[in-house]
Amino acid sequence: MSIIQKIQKYDLRGRGGAEFPVAIKWQGTLKAHQQKPHKPTYVVCNASEGEPNVTKDMYILRHFTDEVIDGMQIAMDCLDAKKGYIFIKKKNYKLLKEKLIKVIGDRQIFIFSSDGGYLCGEETTLLQTIEGERREPRLKPPFPTEVGLYGCPTLVNNVETFYDVAKIQKDEYKNTRFYSISGEVKNLGVYELSATMTMGEILSTTGNDPKFKFFVQVGGGASGEIFTADELNVPLHGAGSIIVYNQKKTKPIKLMKQWIKFFHAENCGQCAPCREGLYRLDELLKKKEIDWSMVRAILHTMKDTSLCPLGKSVFYPMISLLEKI
């Protein structure tokens, strides 16, 4: 059984947040490589991790370096890729440089360190940055599997995805995933648990079940959706993060302003809905009397018309907080 067949058997989904089927992405890259044999194929590990309160990738890269690099090499062998790249923030590169270089050895895997930013979590922005171009997303299609790094077929997967691939290849995969747990909890940290656990079970198992009135943000500290304590009986999706907020201590307006400030600082300015929408939201939230109908209208417009996930993702935390808290 080929590695792609094994990945398909386990129905492995990307761990970067989008949860796209890994086997389909690998098959698409392989097909593009076979159709364009004169062009090189690349494998890229996205370790940018720019979402606030998501720390699982650096945890994995620090504690399971061998597995991540092995997963990249498995992908390179499968796709006949001559080069691989790890995209990592400069501050994290300084911490992991020696270990990464030692584990990589003489393999054709290169480390690209950058200031990164939230947008580098989006694969085409990451590729633009490696190429030395402006840090902004590309229009899709074409997708990176066909036209990626330097216009060549390129596989981009998350750190955790390559870790899972290495486990699958050795028949050691147990359908687990990593969860970053933060906020007002007793046991902050990253945990590897069953991928089928509900959010409530995750909090309980890690000793982080709050004894006060609370809500959680799931998927990250900016784009994550809000869930109440009564909505935690479903599995966690997205980037694998749970942030616990004490409802009595948390001011929703302050939280919204915090998110908008983050997105405003991280947006590339390329598309008008995102650029202008964030500016207007910032203006509206600073007023004494907030026009919530206008806030909602802007959020819906951004979700429907923004070029990349940044503008679209502003909608989910804002609307879910407005509706539930």
Q: What pLDDT digit, counting tens, does each position of 119-174 carry?
A: 888 999 999 999 999 989 998 999 999 999 999 999 999 999 999 999 999 999 99
Cα–Cα distance between 54 and 168 in angstroms, integer? Answer: 24
Q: Given strand 109-114, what is the order of strands in its sheet? A: 109-114, 83-89, 42-47, 154-158
CB atoms within 10 A of CB 80: 13
Residue 237: pLDDT over 90:
no
Distance (Å, rounded) from C-alpha 232 to C-alpha 234?
6
C-alpha 222 chain-centroid distance: 12
Residue 222: predicted pLDDT: 92
Quote the pLDDT of residue 239. 84
**Band of residue 76 on the pLDDT scale cut at 50, 70, 90:** very high
Looking at residues 205-219, what average pLDDT do you find? 96
What is the spatial distance between Cα 227 and Cα 184, in angstroms, rounded to a whole number? 15
d(CA 59, CA 87): 15
Q: What is the DSSP letter of 233?
A: S
Q: Read off the DSSP letter of residue 107.
A: S
Indicate left, alpha or beta for 48 from its phi (over 0: left) and psi (-120 to 50: alpha): alpha
Examine the pLDDT at 294 and tell me if it is beyond 80: yes
In which element (H, E) is residue 99 found?
helix 90-104
Q: What is the pLDDT of residue 118?
A: 87
The 3-state secondary structure of 301-322, one letter per residue: HHHHHCCCHHHHHCHHHHHHHH
CATH number of 3-169, picked from 3.40.50.10600, 3.40.1350.10, 3.10.105.10, 3.40.50.11540? 3.40.50.11540
What pLDDT is stored for residue 115 in this prediction? 84
pLDDT of residue 245: 98
21 to each of 8, 45, 318, how far by Cα in Å? 8, 16, 28
Residue 116 clears pLDDT 80, i.e. is over it: no
Q: What is the pLDDT of residue 282?
A: 94
Write the pLDDT tens digit of every residue in 49-73.
Answer: 888 899 999 999 999 999 999 999 9
Say whether the peptide bond before residue 144 is cis (omega within 30 degrees of 0): no
Domain ranges of the chain: 3-169, 176-246, 252-324
Encode pLDDT of 303-320 as tens digits. Answer: 999 988 888 999 999 999
| Least confident interval from 26-35, 98-107, 148-157, 264-273 | 264-273
Looking at the chain, the whole-number percentage of residues with pLDDT higher than 90 is 86
pLDDT at 77 over 90: yes
Average pLDDT over residues 74-92: 96
Q: Is 153 helix (H, G, I), strand (E, B) or coil?
A: coil
Domain pair 176-246 / 252-324, same fold: no
Burial of 38 per CB tally in 10 Å (0-12, 13-18, 19+): exposed
CATH class for the region spanning 176-246: alpha beta
- Token pair belonging to 58: 């650096």
User: What architecture is the 252-324 domain classified under in CATH?
Assistant: Up-down Bundle (1.20)
Compute the distance between CA of residue 220 and CA of residue 218 in angstroms, rounded to an integer: 6
- State the chain's mean pLDDT as an integer: 94
